[in-house]
Amino acid sequence: MEIKNFTHEHIRVSREWPVCLDIDGIPYGIQASFHHYEAADDELKRAELRFKDHAYALFLFDYTEDEATDLLPEWWRDSKVVWELKPKGGTR
């Protein structure tokens, strides 16, 4: 799907939190955001921004690090983690 010229539009990918992503058109580009609810019993376990070959991807997982790595698309498995949301307690 290719979406063009959506400066003032809002797109929600998925309907269930904690794994949902909001994409908004803003005057100078796009903004992608998600919500992390600390009090949720089924909190988001993994969020990563990855980089490879001039491309960035944001992955949101309801899985642990070991489970999430196995679920990455093949092309992204050797990518560099630029940023990550650590699980509750600050351990990996």
Per-residue pLDDT, averaged over 3-16, amounts to 73
Per-residue pLDDT, averaged over 39-61, amounts to 80
The strand pair at 55-61 and 46-52 is best described as antiparallel
Percentages of the chain per state (helix, strand, coil), in multiples of 5: 10, 40, 50
Which tokens go with 38?
């600390």
Q: Measured between alpha carbons, how far is 26 from 6 in angstroms, rounded to an integer?
A: 8
Whole-structure pTM over 0.75, yes or no?
A: no
Q: Measured between alpha carbons, how far is 28 from 7 in angstroms, rounded to an integer?
A: 9
Higher confidence at residue 82 or residue 34? 82
